[in-house]
A and B are shown apart, each in its own frame.
Chain A
Amino acid sequence: MRKAMVLFVGLLASTAFASGASTGEKEDVAGYILHHVADASEYELESPFSAEHKAIHLPQMAIPFKAGACEPAHVAEDGHKVFPPLSAGCLDISITKHTVMMWLAALLLIGSLLAFSNRDKSKMVPRGVGANMFEMLILFVRDELAIKNIGKEEGPRYVPYLLTAFFFILFMNLLGLVPWMATATGNLAITAGLAICTFVVTQAAGIRAAGVGGYLAHLTGGVHWALWPIMVPVEILGLFTKPFALTVRLFANMLAGHIVIFFLLGLIFILENLAVAAVSVPFALGIYMLELFVAFVQAYVFTMLSALFIGMSVAMGHHHHDEHAEGGAGHDGHGKAHPVGS
């Protein structure tokens, strides 16, 4: 097993730096690493046994908001187009390496869940390693994340979303550790997309608990209507702090681990000494093992924080609802329910 892992990381290392090592040119290691962790419109297939650089060009497309807005500003020799920015009226929706990884993770997730889920209702006990492992993770998300952060009453309602987020992030994180694959969660756009999903669920949970009127009244901050032009934007800005934290935290954690692995392997090329490999490869292997753990931890943390935010939103909605019920005031009278200071 240990030998297999060493071979695996060795393959990873040799794949990553194959082209640089064989050309014999001094590599700009930092640039090389950033190129590898960044998104691209081509899928690179590097072989550790050849200097040949194979790349699959992914389809490029863009939506123009006005006629001729998406005329490529530049077309490279290999056919890669550079579209004008969004401010010029062009929305670039090209399929990228990370998009492919995201789709692959979704397909793998659907496939493995279909394979391991037990649809025979007469046999309720799961059999086999895969089914038991999935059951363990699903029960963990339900009992330890949803119920413990949202509550016994409301928690089960949000389990489907939390499970989707947990497994989708976990699969994307784990895919990034396979040679020739990329970490989709190391892309700010993808983590922002995931955080937007949590944001929508959190706000929907708040609206469900407080009612539309109660939710809107909460946005006024309970101050006099003359102060709303300042207080409402402040409260709306405050809603975005949590999804922003979710976005940056997942992105930074996933990106950092991969950069560390690449840099440890890059030391061999920076110092131009093969003996360094004796130290940097075992270190990279250690970080790689840590990354396997981090893949699970980050999926857990994102789901846990999502559940926590949903729970807080639900509690705030109920609290708001109860306060108005006690005060006998409707949702339109937020200020009246909190007479202190007015």
Chain B
Amino acid sequence: MDKEPRDEEDGLSPMARQMRAAQPYVSAVWKLVGGAVFGVVGGYFLDAWLGTSPWFMLGLSLAGISVGFYGFLREMARLGKKR
């Protein structure tokens, strides 16, 4: 798309630079936390709706935590390789 390599950080404030640098790590952490939160909360409501307590909560929690961990480790490995 661009002919010249762009200097996106030209003229940015130190805070904006730091936030941009931290963004991939924040995103990786969200995968870890969000996976667990989604599993537990989603499972809880599914159980309440279908009357299957506690199976969906247990199953989705486990799945959410596993996928969250996988996403997190994968992202961290990718970021580590890039550095």
Contacts and interface: CB of A to CB of B under 8 A. Distances in A.
Contacts of A312: 19-20, 23
B81 interface: yes
A147 B11 contact: yes
A189 to B, nearest CB: 24
Interface residues of A, number: 34
* Majority SS at the chain B contact face: helix
Interface stretch (A55-63, A244-252, A258-266, A313-321): A313-321
Contacts, number: 97
* Majority SS at the chain A contact face: helix
A95 interface: no
Interface in A299-332: 308, 311-312, 314-316, 318, 321, 325
B38 A311 contact: no
Contact of A308 (B8, B16, B38, B70): B16
5 contacts: A149-B15, A149-B16, A221-B31, A312-B19, A340-B81
Given A231-B71, A234-B64, A311-B16, 9 more contacts: A148-B13, A149-B13, A223-B74, A230-B39, A234-B31, A311-B19, A340-B77, A340-B78, A341-B74
Interface of A: 144, 147-153, 155, 221-223, 227, 230-231, 233-235, 237-238, 241, 308, 311-312, 314-316, 318, 321, 325, 338, 340-342
